[in-house]
Amino acid sequence: MHGAMIRRSGVTIEDVAAAVGVSRQTVSRVLNGSPNVKPAVRERIHAAIEALGYVPNLSARRMGGGRSYVVLAINDRVRTLENWQARRGNDYVDQMLFGGMTACEAQGWHLVFELVDTDPAHARRGLANALASLRPDGVILTPPHCDNADLVALLAEHGIPCARIGHREGTSTIDVFMDEVAAAGAATRHLIALGHSRIAFIAGAANYGSSALRIAGYRAALAEAGISDALVGDGDFHFETAERVIAALLAQGDPPTAVIADNDEMAFAALHIASARGLRVPEDLAVVSFEDTPGVRFAVPPLTAIRQPVAEMIASACSSLIALVEGGGAPARHEIPFELICRASTGQDQR
């Protein structure tokens, strides 16, 4: 068949250029928003792109030396599904995917996830491999990678902008975080306003930055109300440990009438103990949680909780990275507002 060419793939920039009667570079300029294109030509190129259904090939763009239009989100790798789900609440990733993809897509970018070992020796190598193979334009580090200075340094060496979730000390990075101190304070003050003075805080892990900040906020709110007794229990984010810790607190001479748990799973442990001992919630024991996974609405009773705005945080990280790459400017810090959602476990009626 004379003149027929075998096409390895779909519509290319040359096809658009040929259809309009301009060079590929002019089409490229339109794609990349260069100002120096005659309005009439720009119009015709847009029409041709639409008509032909042209979409730029991401790999080719990357090869051309331009941007990759890819944001890489780094999560910690775990071995089993159980560990993965227990990691940081099982809807953390769900929210990441939603928030991140929605934000990236709105700008014509893509979000790619990669798992990297937390172990420092493997972490650097894992990130380096991901960078080499994907060549992202920006990287998001989630906990606990966000606290790994080595990874931040590696990204700086490569000149790749970095956003950190749940970290607030950065100067060279985009830090996106919520005010953990204020959130714990709000939860504590909510209970104090309801008349409680024996309020326990079940911490997740001493070495987690967020736990320490929350304990500080809790203590500050108590102090502010003139309550001298802080009742901090050492949990590990898991049900069984929390059960023991809460049981021990309740066995004291002057037991708590309210519990703040560092995540939902531990709040469920509080409900479970209350149920087992015939304590009414919230009358005998009020419960507040940090996290607000969808399931807490269906607990018996539904849990009052500080909502962790994960989707918003990731969306903000993506938007900021994109803005940084496309518009220049300097990395900034973004505090995302938290929310205290009052439900039946502290006496409110709503679900």
Residues that bind DNA (CB under 7 A): 7-9, 12-14, 21-29, 31-32, 35-38, 41, 54, 56-57, 60-61, 63-66
Name which of 48 and 181 has its Cβ closer to its own copies. Answer: 48
Name which of 180 and 291 has its Cβ closer to its own copies. Answer: 291
- The answer to whether 315 and 176 are in contact (CB under 8 A) is no
Question: Which of 295, 326, 333, 348 forms a contact with its own copies (CB under 8 A)?
Answer: 295
What the block records as the tokens of 349 is 């009626």
**What's the CA gap between 153 and 89, in Å, rounded?**
29
For residue 53, the minimal CB distance to DNA (Å) is 12
**What's the CA gap between 99 and 309, in Å, rounded?**
10
Could you tell me which residues are beta bridge partners of residue 65? none
Using CA atoms of 68, 71, 77, 80 in order, give the dihedral in degrees to the nearest 10. Answer: -100
- The answer to whether 326 and 296 are in contact (CB under 8 A) is no
Distance set, CA 97 to CA 79, 202, 300 (Å): 20, 29, 29
Closest-CA residue to 215 (of 264, 178, 181, 259) = 181
278 is an interface residue for its own copies by CB under 8 A: no
For residue 155, the minimal CB distance to DNA (Å) is 18
| Interacting residues with its own copies between 21 and 60 (CB under 8 A) | 53-60
What the block records as the tokens of 321 is 């990275």
- The answer to whether 317 and 140 are in contact (CB under 8 A) is yes
- Looking only at the bridges linking them, the beta strands covering 286-291 and 231-234 are unpaired
For residue 55, the minimal CB distance to its own copies (Å) is 4
For residue 46, the minimal CB distance to DNA (Å) is 13
**What's the CA gap between 289 and 261, in Å, rounded?**
5
How many C-beta atoms surround the C-beta of residue 330 within 10 A?
A: 8
**What's the CA gap between 166 and 210, in Å, rounded?**
8
How many C-beta atoms surround the C-beta of residue 302 within 10 A?
A: 19
**What's the CA gap between 192 and 109, in Å, rounded?**
46
For residue 220, the minimal CB distance to its own copies (Å) is 30
Name which of 128 and 227 has its Cβ closer to DNA. Answer: 128
Helix-then-strand count for the chain, H and E: 13, 12
For residue 180, the minimal CB distance to its own copies (Å) is 21
Name which of 115 and 223 has its Cβ closer to its own copies. Answer: 115
269 is an interface residue for its own copies by CB under 8 A: yes
Question: Which of 2, 3, 50, 133 forms a contact with its own copies (CB under 8 A)?
Answer: 133
For residue 64, the minimal CB distance to DNA (Å) is 3
118 is an interface residue for its own copies by CB under 8 A: no
Name which of 51 and 300 has its Cβ closer to its own copies. Answer: 300
- Looking only at the bridges linking them, the beta strands covering 138-141 and 339-341 are unpaired
Q: Which does 329 bind (CB under 5 to 8 A by kind): DNA, its own copies, none?
A: none
153 is an interface residue for its own copies by CB under 8 A: no
Question: Which of 272, 323, 333, 347 forms a contact with its own copies (CB under 8 A)?
Answer: 272
| Interacting residues with its own copies between 205 and 264 (CB under 8 A) | 239, 264
For residue 339, the minimal CB distance to its own copies (Å) is 13
- The answer to whether 17 and 26 are in contact (CB under 8 A) is yes
Q: Which does 66 bind (CB under 5 to 8 A by kind): its own copies, DNA, none?
A: DNA
Q: Is 75 helix (H, G, I), strand (E, B) or coil?
A: strand
84 is an interface residue for its own copies by CB under 8 A: yes
The residues of the shown chain that bind its own copies, judged by CB under 8 A, are 8-11, 53-60, 62-63, 65, 68, 81, 84-86, 90-95, 97-99, 101-102, 105, 110-115, 125, 128-129, 131-135, 239, 264-265, 268-269, 271-272, 275, 293-295, 297-300, 311, 351
